[in-house]
């Protein structure tokens, strides 16, 4: 076999490997985003139940409850972009956080079994969202690294892959969950 043919084959194999690794990184990002989306939906499903259970008691926080309901209906609209999903998710997180703090002012509500159960479920979903978000950020970082680093950056330019944005992690997520604050 002539040497030039061997060199050609080696180059072709390297190109295929580079291409495949880029595609698999892109798909990993998309897969994980789908999971982020699923947990966000799971949380949206809890909102009507939460609003119904606390609405009767929370006279002063009516606007807060209305805001969450509005955000939920916006998020449920078809054809919203990924960026919007991320933005709405962050807004819901902060609104739900405020509601949970407000619950502390109503002893009846705090003792309500239904509300307590909702609190547990919300805690769990928040934790799942945080996990999904961290996984997404790692996948995006791997993908972005591949796009910027030699030699895959040449391939990325050729097939027109561009950098993706990571989720901004809310500062409060980095802190430990304080159980005393939640239940006392």
124 contacts another protein (rule: CB under 8 A): yes
- What lies within 8 Å, CB to CB, of 72 at 6+ separation is 44, 47, 48, 92
Query: What is the rounded CA–CA span in Å between residue 102 and residue 98?
Result: 6
Site residues for another protein, 144-183, by CB under 8 A, read 173-174, 176-177, 179, 182
Beta carbon of residue 177, minimum distance to another protein (angstroms, whole number): 6
Query: What is the rounded CA–CA span in Å between residue 43 and residue 177?
Result: 18
Beta carbon of residue 132, minimum distance to another protein (angstroms, whole number): 5
List the x/- string, 52-91, binding to another protein by CB under 8 A: ----------------------------------------
User: Residue 136 class from Cβ within 10 Å (0-12 exposed, 13-18 middle, 19+ buried)?
Assistant: buried
Residue from 88, 139, 146, 156 in contact with another protein (CB under 8 A): 139
| Residue 177 parent element (H or E) | none
Beta carbon of residue 31, minimum distance to another protein (angstroms, whole number): 9
Beta carbon of residue 67, minimum distance to another protein (angstroms, whole number): 25
């Amino acid at each position: 076999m002539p040497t030039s043919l061997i060199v050609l084959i080696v180059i072709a194999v390297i190109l295929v490997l580079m291409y495949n690794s880029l595609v698999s990184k892109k798909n990993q990002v998309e897969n994980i985003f789908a999971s982020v989306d699923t947990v966000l939906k799971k949380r949206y499903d809890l909102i009507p139940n939460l609003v119904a259970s606390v609405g009767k008691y929370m006279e002063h926080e009516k606007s807060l409850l209305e805001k969450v309901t509005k955000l939920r209906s916006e998020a449920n609209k078809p054809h919203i972009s990924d960026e919007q999903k991320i933005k709405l998710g962050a807004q819901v997180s902060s609104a739900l956080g405020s509601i949970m703090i407000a619950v502390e002012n109503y002893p009846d509500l705090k003792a309500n079994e239904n509300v307590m159960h909702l609190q547990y479920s919300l805690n769990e979903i928040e934790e799942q969202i945080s996990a999904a978000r961290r996984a997404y950020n790692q996948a995006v970082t791997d993908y972005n690294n591949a796009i910027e680093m030699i030699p895959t950056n040449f391939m990325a330019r050729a097939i027109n892959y561009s950098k993706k944005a990571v989720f901004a992690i809310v500062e409060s997520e980095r802190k430990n969950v304080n159980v005393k604050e939640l239940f006392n």
